[in-house]
Amino acid sequence: MTAKLTLLTALLACLISPAAEVPPVIEVEGQPLAANARRVMQALEFFGRPLDAELREKLQAAISARDGAAVQALLDPQVLCVVDINPESRVKAQRGPAAALVQQAGHTPVLIKVVNHAASVASLRLSSPQAGPSYAGVAKLTMERERQTHLRENENTQGADRFLEVSMSDAPPMTAHLSGLEVEYALALIYSSEAGKREATLAFDIGQGTQDLGFRAEVPVLLDISPAVTVKLEVKDYDGSDTTARLTFTNAQGQVFPPQARRLAPDFFFQKHLYRPSGSTVLLPPGEFTMEASRGPEYRTVKTKVAIPSAKEITLPVKLERWIHAADFGCYSGDHHIHAAGCAHYTSPSEGMRPEHMFQQVKGEGLNVGCVLAWGYCFDYQRQFFGPQVDLLSEPLTQMKYDMEVSGFGSAALGHVCLLNLRELVYPGAEGIKGWPTWTLPALRWTKQQGGFTGYPHSGSGMQVNSATASKRLLDLYDSSKDARLTAAEAQEVLLPEAFEKIDADHDGGVNEAELVSSHERVLDALPNVAIPDAGGHEIFVTTAHGVCDFISAMDTARLLEWNAWYHLMNCGFPLKAAGETDFPCMSGTRVGQGRTYVKLGKVERIDFKKWCEGLAQGRSYVSDGYAHALDFTVADQHSGDEVRLTQPGRVEVRVKAAFSSETPLEIAYGGALPVAGARLTGDTVNYHDATTGQPYAGGKRRVELIVNGLPVAVREVPADDQVHEIAFSADIHRSSWVAVRQFPQMHTNPVNVIVAGQPIRASRRSAQWCLACIEQLWRVREKNISPAERDAARRAYEEAKEMYRRIAKESPEGS
């Protein structure tokens, strides 16, 4: 046995020999090879790995002389691999003479000689079985939504022996394609997450099916990997206390460290940044980096140039800076919709991440409350972390609670639901996620019975309207004469997107499909509008009417769709509140807290989770992306969630302290738009351009609007300058109304209700008709999703809700 092992060891040593003979010099035109060599020199300097001074001087002389043979003689000893492309474009490769010296945690450029008998101008590609992501199971749709599809390549090839990232350098001064010259040089980049001696296989090709037969395009290489520097982080908050920060390290080439595809817990591969508490470490190669440090949208992003020396360990100070502290105004932020598994998480989407990893995300974004929700695709594993109280990792001002999203199993058939502050996680009689009701109302009632709080997430989902589909549906349902048009008589009981007379463009006494399509197109950007969602939305219109829905979620889907549904329900007089969420990492994996609720609790030393949820449900809050704030919003001295009572119509004074960050969000404001000065309103239509100049808004100002019953009645411009600005409005209230302040698309307060002469809010007959039509459309397209055994009970509940909306419509002013 020993003799066999010795022989095998000898054979392997030959196979992965660290050096081979210098490749032969090949006759080639001197000028183009010299130009190629000049680019290689520039690229190596750009990567911080220049050739030594003597070699540079000799190579420069050969380049100036256009001496192709001399260029090869000087560069060939530096070649790690030689790639040969035969006239049939088959690729084979062999080891070159250069030592395979690689830096752990850094992108090491290595020289590749290409002998191109085919004169190919294809792209040279490099791969390795030791490269590829360390995770598996990421959803394609999630990566598309997060614009990181490159991270999904080979995601199902997870293995323990993955420590490399390899690629060809194709950015200037190098080129993305071969030149077609008989000989040229290319640069490959090798990154290793491990140190020491490691064997790797490098494989080359120029397209599908071009690798030579018999594995001759693959080169085993024994890498000698120098260890990275252990960087110990001293993270200090704005007040000097230790905390957790969001950190991003990039080099001069814009590469992110550590590379995303190599990350494992506690770091997430779908985030460019990482989170580190004070005293923790990160591995970096020697070199210069830009470090970006923050702790959520209430903080400035501090950019610092840092030089990492060649050392075993160093200490790096990180000092954070705030631009605002909402807690100074008694407002505490939370994201009620966070997941620890599914969508983009790893290593197994059925398991996901542990509480300590999720807490780091919550604290690193400066959230006071984070609700981590189990759901269908992780329930069996994640349920172990659930408890009736906040997680034991919680701190006085950073609370984390495990709860439930009804999603990925039966009860989600008519809409997903966030269930907060649960004492029990499993519906009575169910086994895990099996055996739940197939509609949402029973789940919400059960939640309310145990003192929980309920709301629909990503509420713009299912609210989309296709103009052509919606127009055809109206004709199919209400064109009783089947003449492909709606007459005034046929349309009398129909909720049209606009007044009949406005839709009837040719004034022929009927509206045809083309006119209906045009009408829908005109109103889809209006807020509010009464275009009926193709899917009917979700069951919020039913459960709100039955009094068991506390909130509608906002800030992670299209604002117009979210706020439109919310406005209509409030116009009917229902006390539905808005709550900000992210739906991390499904709607966005960039960071938790991209949408958040700021609940006004007053100054506290410790967050009470239940009281925070109560404040959310009562609307003592505003929703925001964290870069926009509406502090101390009052109507006649009453705060959000309160009522003002007037004995007769009159004027009310409105005050708010508004503040906007001078920075823009790090990524897309999901579901909204990039932060602009504000959406100027032309009529009721959102318009991102200045109504006077026609030019897009500059980022220096925001428009804060006073909203009464869904319509803007006054506006103030506020600088986005990191300062708090006190602004005042006044509004004439003619009948019971809800009053709020917004800045589209970044921020919206929950309303103060102004009750006139004791009458309920009946702001709009068309709002009630729209909610009624949504229920009818929802039943029409999704009735089949409710089990036959439950369908009669659901039908009765739907009819009861519809009757409420009919009554509200009758009680609302005509023409409203």
Residue 685, class by beta-carbon neighbours within 10 Å (0-12 exposed, 13-18 middle, 19+ buried)?
A: middle
pTM for this predicted structure:
0.86
Q: Using CA atoms of 82, 86, 91, 94 in order, give the dihedral in degrees to the nearest 10.
A: -30
Secondary structure element (H or E) that encloses residue 68, with its range = helix 68-75
pLDDT of residue 276: 97
pLDDT of residue 493: 86
Q: Using CA atoms of 695, 700, 704, 710 in order, give the dihedral in degrees to the nearest 10.
A: 40
Give the rounded distance of the alpha carbon of 496 from its chain centre. Answer: 35
Q: pLDDT per residue over 720-770, tens digit each?
A: 999 999 999 999 999 999 999 999 999 999 999 999 999 999 999 999 999
Task: Say which residues have a Cβ less than 8 Å from residue 599's Cβ, sequence separation at least 6.
Answer: 331, 332, 333, 334, 612, 615, 616, 620, 621
pLDDT of residue 322: 97
Asked if 125 and 89 touch (Cβ cutoff 8 Å), the reply is no
What would the two tokens of residue 266 be? 């506690």
Residue ranges, the chain, pLDDT below 50: 1-18, 136-137, 143, 149-160, 347, 349, 668-698
pLDDT of residue 671: 46
pLDDT of residue 209: 75
pLDDT of residue 265: 81
SS3 176: coil
Q: pLDDT per residue over 376-395, tens digit each?
A: 988 999 999 999 999 999 99
Task: Say which residues have a Cβ less than 8 Å from residue 449's Cβ, sequence separation at least 6.
Answer: none
pLDDT of residue 197: 97
Q: In terms of Cα–Cα distance, which of 94, 247, 121 is closest to 181?
A: 121
Rounded Cα distance, 203 and 181, in Å: 22
Q: pLDDT per residue over 345-375, tens digit each?
A: 554 645 888 999 999 999 999 999 999 999 9
